[in-house]
Chain A
Amino acid sequence: MSSDPAEIEEWLRRLNSALAAMPLPERNNILEETRSHLRERLVAGDPPSDALAGFGSPEDYAQCFVDEMRMEGALRSKGTAALLHVVTSQINRNFVAALAGIGIAVLGVFSFAAVGMLIAKVFDPVRAGVWRYPQGGFTIGLVNPADATELLGMWLYPLCVGVLALSWLGGRRLLLWAVRRIARDHGATLRRQ
């Protein structure tokens, strides 16, 4: 192992660090295959810099594997946390991920509002609700009931639960769509390079 030129050893050390998110057996497999490739190029007479040039930076090279592993794992498990992780990890370099991130943020705001209203209704049922003012206009939340009429009453509970359920289902669908799309684009990008 130590017979490899220092330039290659340093590049492989950086690759190993950049692959830290991957399971150890997969990481070792990638490292060994890359080392094997580089050694064959050196034996064929290529200088280390030429042998390394085809891989680009170790961080970018490692990112291809890490992204693929995360996408494949998320699509296989369909777990919300795994799907969300893929989207958030690509939010600054993928348009679909950014779009999905905005959608998830909006749905998150709706969810927080629904949870807030549920808690408020439990602890302050008189003031919590959807209020209509005599002069027109609506307010949702905790207001002074003296000059306004509450519209929903106990229906606020199922409404909030409905908003939460729809946000959850919509969020999951959005995440699944985004990760499938990102995975497809990722494959297409690799095919084009």
Chain B
Amino acid sequence: MNAKATELAPQARQSQVLKGLGELALLSLLQERAHYGLEILERLRGEAGVDLAAGTIYPMLYRLEKSDRVRSEWRIDDPGARPRKYYALTGEGRRDLKTQLGEWRRLASVLGKFLDREMKR
């Protein structure tokens, strides 16, 4: 039990830290190409370690669409397949991503230097 808890702790901590960056990770993902909701959730969880709930991602996408940072369209990928709602980044979304990325890099750099100060001594 304790061994398992110790093993999972860094993962849980990482997930907690990354949750605040969900929107940035989402915008970054949509920069690649259009994605649908479940695909976004799975890629964010698998590749970025951002474990967002389905009940969070769709309202977030709705908000991004309302603020013109994302646009959506229903598509049928294959004949007979179920339609999926795909989300893609708009020009406004790209600008916002650039701003958020700049803020994140600045913050990560300052925080990184602060946290590494003991190592340099």
Name A residues whose Cβ lies closer than 8 Å to a Cβ of B: 29-30, 32-34, 36-37, 39-41, 54-56, 60-61, 64-65, 68-69, 72, 186-187, 190-193
- Known: A41-B38, A191-B20. Is A30-B63 also a contact (CB below 8 A)? no
B102 contacts the other chain (Cβ, under 8 Å)?
A: no
Contact-residue bracket for chain B: 20 to 34
Contacts of B85 in A (CB 8 A): 29, 32-33, 36
Please report whether the interface of chain B is mostly helix, strand, loop or mixed according to DSSP. Answer: helix
Contacts of A30 in B (CB 8 A): 58, 62
The contact of A68 among B19, B22, B63, by CB within 8 Å, is: B63
Besides A37-B38, A41-B38, A68-B63, 6 more A-B contacts (Cβ < 8 Å) are A32-B83, A36-B83, A40-B38, A191-B19, A191-B21, A193-B53
Contact A68–B62 (Cβ < 8 Å): yes
Name B residues whose Cβ lies closer than 8 Å to a Cβ of A: 19-23, 37-38, 52-56, 58-60, 62-63, 66-67, 82-85
- Known: A36-B85, A41-B38. Is A190-B63 also a contact (CB below 8 A)? yes
**Please, which residue of chain B has its CB at the minimum distance from the CB of A33?**
B85
Contacts of B62 in A (CB 8 A): 30, 64-65, 68
